[in-house]
Chains A and B, each alone.
Chain A
Amino acid sequence: MPRELTQNRIQKIWVPTKDDKRRGTGAPHFANPPTVIVMVGLPARGKTYISKKLTRYLNWIGIPTKVFNVGEYRREAVKNYSSYDFFKPDNESAVKIRQQCALAALRDVKSYLKDEGGQVAVFDATNTTRDRRDLILKFGNENDFKIFFIESVCEDPSVIASNIMEVKVSCPDYKDCNKTEAMLDFQKRIECYRTSYQPLDPDQYDRDHSFIKVIDVGRRFLVNRIQDHIQSKIVYYLMNIHVQPRTIYLCRHGESTDNLEGRLGGDSGLSQRGQQFSAALARFVEEQQLKDLKVWTSQLCRSIQTAEHLGVPYEQWKALNEIDAGMCEEMTYDEVKEKFPEEFALRDEDKYYYRYPAGESYQDLVQRVEPVIMELERQENVLVICHQAVMRCLLAYFLDKSADEMPYLRCPLHTVLKLTPVAYGCKVESICLNVEAVNTHRDRPEEVKRGPGTLIRRNSVTPLTSPESHIKKPRIEDLDEAPIQELPNSVASLALSTSSHIPLALAGEVLNTSSSLHLGHHDIHQFLTFSLCMSAHLFVALLSALAGQSLPVSI
């Protein structure tokens, strides 16, 4: 007897009646068992850049991913960085500390993948010796994690120098140095690693390991033994990203006649003001004086009409069409509330996963829009003229916003967002072109109860610090359950001998932004809901961190 099917109310997915919990994604999950991505390479080879970018991408496509940067653990353990001497191979006490940090990070990786619902952990450290990598392979073996190495190899001095200038001289280690000092010290730091560096060896030692070697910032790749879907996607992504300076412009079509009536979806043309905006957009684009700007639109009339005013060739993508509101297409919100009151309420309950009847959800959009993101990564200067929901998806990708925040990002009409990659993130400038338009933004209603079992996609920012010493977070001293069996004796004894308590660290640097995006309320909301899924002591840690520190903005 076939099981009875019901369609779950939010996602409209048919499931056997007894089983009404939320399904992961609209596409099959291919990431079992969990994977540890292990970065390999000398300092200033782009490991952290790749780690963060990859993590942002994987989280956006719905695979819970997190970076574990061993350098951050080291900065907690050793409050003040004095000089490159710390990294000298004969500095025994430093070597001890650094090993402990790596072990602590691995412990957190294990906890993330086993207990916190993580699927991919990115272990961001130099991992330049075989010993260290063997340790990690063993760790992976014991815990049933797949291991995938990403090695970045580069000997072009101008690239290295440029990397150091972009992200190293301003890092916490060098906060009291001037640029030249920082540069010199960092270069000596690199030399400390060089003698013991054993690159991945595809011919002998590493022939059975899965890895990709990224050579000279993507000029060449060596790919060995891809095991599964997720590794294949990671490789494809890495092969499409680049570091050429460029700018991405995102905007919506000009105000449409449907917008004026407050109607969802449809395929109407521009209103008077919408046309004025298009003319203003054309002037704006000219002023930007860009070399080789590509212009992309959707296949809906209002987006194409906007592009037509620019007088340049443009490409139409069906994938950029607005979210399909199914049975609610072309209705006003009031009409929806009247005709489909339950649907209206459900949408507010869980806007990211909610699928319009016979329509789409934001989750569906992400999948639909993924090839656009991949091509955006390949391109240089691009202007994307799209729609509210689509623009929110794209923006969430570039600014690393979670599934929870995405449907509430502000993307007003007649405003261009200019995104410029910088350091580890993206600078955002919001440019309003001074043509009046209706407001189509609906905030998250205050009185909405959050549904049970809400699945929140992890933001890739490492959770906040607990400066309080009573917070029990197993770090370096609490190794009653050693994460790695059969440690080499030297390391095992080191792990048990430390006496200092090391609290969690605040991740990353705070980047300044000239953005006018409304962040505060939603960030707090996101962190709080994130914390609901963690254990109690971490929750307390978060609260105290929020109280005491400014919010890190990883953009």
Chain B
Amino acid sequence: MEPSQWEYVGRRRCDSAASVPQFCNSPTVIVMVGLPARGKTYISKKLTRYLNWIGVPTKVFNVGQYRREAVKTYKNFEFFKPDNEEAMRIRKACAAAALKDVAAFFTKEHGQVAVFDATNTTRERRAVINSFAKERGYKVFFVESICDDPEIITENIKQVKFGSPDYIDRDIEEAMSDFIQRIECYKASYTSIDDEKDRKLSYIKIFDVGSRYLVNLVQDHIQSRIVYYLMNIHVTPRSIFLSRHGESELNLLGRIGGDSGLSPRGLKYADALATFIRGQNIKDLKVWTSHMKRTIQTAEALGVQYEQWKALNEIDAGVCEELTYEEIQESFPEEFAMRDQEKYRYRYPKGESYEDLVHRLEPVIMELERQENVLVICHQAIMRCLIAYFLDKPADELPYLRCPLHTVLKLTPVAYGCKVESFFLNIEAVNTHRERPTNVNVNRKPEEALQTVPDHN
């Protein structure tokens, strides 16, 4: 049997053709716990982005959004007073609606992890969620964020609360004072997860933005990965610079893969990159490259220490290594078409897929999370995977993200996401981006297949 048929046969027995086994059998509900402005939504969104990137379908259910739907205009903190019975009813209904959507996500949309983002500050509320999950056979994992440092709280409020729909028409002073009173409304009834009474629950408590963690009863692989991720992220301001190697000899010839050196323009880019980096005045910049000559040559021009990661090597094109697209179309027209049909999952014969790349890059991402200022000099497919992680791009968009040569992307975390700045360093280079052609059928004509191939020598 042909290897590709084996993949199919394999799929009968195991549920996925992904490069790693899928370990999520029962769906998991991650329940955030904590007073307002403790980073719950920040964690929810970041964790969701990470889980989706590694291939675990995840979604955030933010109860605040449900509340904003139910109560069109937010007046002031009085809504959150514990004795406001009307408001209490609405808030309970919102939580219930969100839980209902969680169930739908699992049963109808093939979701695997749902992040229930709300304060969940009372034992009662947490018990409700726990029963809800138990009844349906879902696992529950609590993530509690505890922080009493007034500076951090104020900073959080400034970064994300002022821009929230609740405060859109207020002035900053007013918004700040209202929000602080909102927090007070929760404080009286706030019961932290109890290490004695709740010893049968699975949870992680995060203290002071990651200075300390308490982890209880990790049940399975996904919870273990979540804990590891949470322990590696930080909120210290920093920037990540992503760039490809300078234009290479093989780039000029329109050939994919290989391990060639830089072209003359590529060498110019390396110098321009060095100038650019110096101009950025970055403190303690780490520089990472792959094991391939072209990225290392690029890094050499910087005149600083750099680290080589094999994991950053370009996608392995297997039998198509060093061919032009025209040659691939001639020798492997069916493979070429199948790649256009499903570029994310398609694996080159004896090579890799984008899906394999994501798996290979996961330790790089984990270390990027730990680090501060980093410049990563890598390759087209690799850069697409990294950008997809930082900018939360789904698998079908990932292989078509634009990562032109001689352009540096500067990513700076801000609020709940990432600011992106693109710097083209003014050195001409070939275009290596190939859009998806209109006809992806295996029976298409060669011209249709080669419709979107960029020019080359």
Are A318 and B359 neighbours in the complex by a CB distance under 8 Å? yes
Contact string against A for B residues 1-24, beta-carbon threshold 8 Å, 1 for contact and 0 otherwise: 101001101100110010111010
Are B232 and A316 neighbours in the complex by a CB distance under 8 Å? no
Are A27 and B224 neighbours in the complex by a CB distance under 8 Å? no
The B227-260 residues at the A interface (CB cut-off 8 A) are 227-228, 231-232, 259
Q: Which B residues touch A319, using CB under 8 A? A: 19-20, 359
Are B308 and A13 neighbours in the complex by a CB distance under 8 Å? yes
A2-B300, A224-B212 known; A318+B21 contact, CB < 8 A: no
B346 within 8 Å of A (CB atoms): no
Q: Which residue of B lies closest to A208 (CB)?
A: B211
CA distance A322 to B308 in the complex (A): 23
Are A299 and B370 neighbours in the complex by a CB distance under 8 Å? no
B420 within 8 Å of A (CB atoms): no
Are B211 and A317 neighbours in the complex by a CB distance under 8 Å? no
Are B270 and A239 neighbours in the complex by a CB distance under 8 Å? no
CA distance A1 to B311 in the complex (A): 28
A262 within 8 Å of B (CB atoms): no
Q: Which residue of B lies closest to A240 (CB)?
A: B224
B21's contact among A12, A29, A296, A329, by CB below 8 Å, is which? A296
Contact string against A for B residues 273-294, beta-carbon threshold 8 Å, 1 for contact and 0 otherwise: 0000000000000001001110
Are A301 and B214 neighbours in the complex by a CB distance under 8 Å? no
Contact string against B for A residues 214-241, beta-carbon threshold 8 Å, 1 for contact and 0 otherwise: 0000011111111011001001100110
CA distance A224 to B210 in the complex (A): 9
A5-B296, A27-B311 known; A317+B212 contact, CB < 8 A: no
Q: Which residue of A lies closest to B295 (CB)?
A: A14
Are A5 and B212 neighbours in the complex by a CB distance under 8 Å? no
Nearest chain B CB to A384 CB, angstrom units: 12
Are A220 and B216 neighbours in the complex by a CB distance under 8 Å? yes
The A155-180 residues at the B interface (CB cut-off 8 A) are none
The A279-337 residues at the B interface (CB cut-off 8 A) are 296, 299, 301, 304, 307-308, 313-319, 329
A375 within 8 Å of B (CB atoms): yes
Contact string against A for B residues 293-327, beta-carbon threshold 8 Å, 1 for contact and 0 otherwise: 10011001100000111110000000001000000
CA distance A222 to B215 in the complex (A): 6
Are A232 and B19 neighbours in the complex by a CB distance under 8 Å? no
A27's contact among B199, B213, B259, B309, by CB below 8 Å, is which? B309
The B40-64 residues at the A interface (CB cut-off 8 A) are none
Are B296 and A219 neighbours in the complex by a CB distance under 8 Å? no
Residue in A229, A236, A269, A316 with the greatest tally of chain B CB atoms within 10 Å = A316
Q: Which A residues touch B228, using CB under 8 A? A: 232, 236, 239
Interface size class of B (residues with CB under 8 A): 35 or more
Q: Which B residues touch A225, using CB under 8 A? A: 211-212
Q: Which residue of A lies closest to B310 (CB)?
A: A26
CA distance A225 to B213 in the complex (A): 9
CA distance A506 to B221 in the complex (A): 39
Are B311 and A232 neighbours in the complex by a CB distance under 8 Å? no
Are A229 and B367 neighbours in the complex by a CB distance under 8 Å? yes
Contact string against B for A residues 472-514, beta-carbon threshold 8 Å, 1 for contact and 0 otherwise: 0000000000000000000000000000000000000000000
B10's contact among A240, A316, A378, by CB below 8 Å, is which? A316
B218 within 8 Å of A (CB atoms): yes
Q: Which A residues touch B21, using CB under 8 A? A: 296, 315-317
Are A304 and B10 neighbours in the complex by a CB distance under 8 Å? yes
Contact string against A for B residues 141-152, beta-carbon threshold 8 Å, 1 for contact and 0 otherwise: 000000000000
A400 within 8 Å of B (CB atoms): no
B231's contact among A232, A269, A317, by CB below 8 Å, is which? A232
Q: Which B residues touch A228, using CB under 8 A? A: 370
CA distance A14 to B6 in the complex (A): 37
Are B213 and A221 neighbours in the complex by a CB distance under 8 Å? yes
Q: Which residue of A lies closest to B371 (CB)?
A: A229
Q: Which residue of B lies closest to A266 (CB)?
A: B350
Nearest chain A CB to B250 CB, angstrom units: 14
Nearest chain A CB to B220 CB, angstrom units: 8
Q: Which residue of A lies closest to B308 (CB)?
A: A13
Q: Which A residues touch B17, using CB under 8 A? A: 316
Are A317 and B216 neighbours in the complex by a CB distance under 8 Å? no
A420 within 8 Å of B (CB atoms): no
Are B1 and A269 neighbours in the complex by a CB distance under 8 Å? yes
Nearest chain A CB to B269 CB, angstrom units: 12
Are A239 and B19 neighbours in the complex by a CB distance under 8 Å? no
B215's contact among A26, A239, A367, by CB below 8 Å, is which? A239
Nearest chain A CB to B313 CB, angstrom units: 10
Q: Which A residues touch B20, using CB under 8 A? A: 317-319, 371
Q: Which residue of B lies closest to A367 (CB)?
A: B310
B308's contact among A28, A235, A296, A308, by CB below 8 Å, is which? A28
The A1-21 residues at the B interface (CB cut-off 8 A) are 2-3, 5, 7, 12-14, 16
The B322-379 residues at the A interface (CB cut-off 8 A) are 350, 356, 359, 363, 367, 370
CA distance A299 to B231 in the complex (A): 32
Q: Which B residues touch A30, using CB under 8 A? A: 367
B288's contact among A7, A28, A220, A317, by CB below 8 Å, is which? A28
A232's contact among B14, B212, B232, by CB below 8 Å, is which? B232
A267 within 8 Å of B (CB atoms): yes
A364 within 8 Å of B (CB atoms): yes
A2-B300, A14-B291 known; A220+B309 contact, CB < 8 A: no
A202 within 8 Å of B (CB atoms): yes
Are A5 and B293 neighbours in the complex by a CB distance under 8 Å? yes
Are B370 and A232 neighbours in the complex by a CB distance under 8 Å? yes
12 contacts between A and B (CB under 8 A): A5-B297, A13-B291, A27-B310, A28-B309, A222-B215, A224-B211, A239-B224, A239-B228, A301-B1, A301-B6, A307-B13, A315-B21
Other A-B pairs, 16, CB within 8 Å; known A30-B367, A239-B228, A314-B14: A14-B293, A28-B288, A219-B217, A220-B215, A221-B216, A222-B213, A224-B213, A235-B231, A239-B227, A296-B21, A304-B9, A315-B21, A318-B356, A319-B19, A319-B20, A364-B310
Identify the B interface with A (CB < 8 A): 1, 3, 6-7, 9-10, 13-14, 17, 19-21, 23, 195, 199, 211-218, 220-221, 224, 227-228, 231-232, 259, 261, 267, 270, 288, 291-293, 296-297, 300-301, 307-311, 321, 350, 356, 359, 363, 367, 370
Identify the A interface with B (CB < 8 A): 2-3, 5, 7, 12-14, 16, 23, 26-30, 202, 219-226, 228-229, 232, 235-236, 239-240, 267, 269, 296, 299, 301, 304, 307-308, 313-319, 329, 358, 364, 367, 371, 375, 378
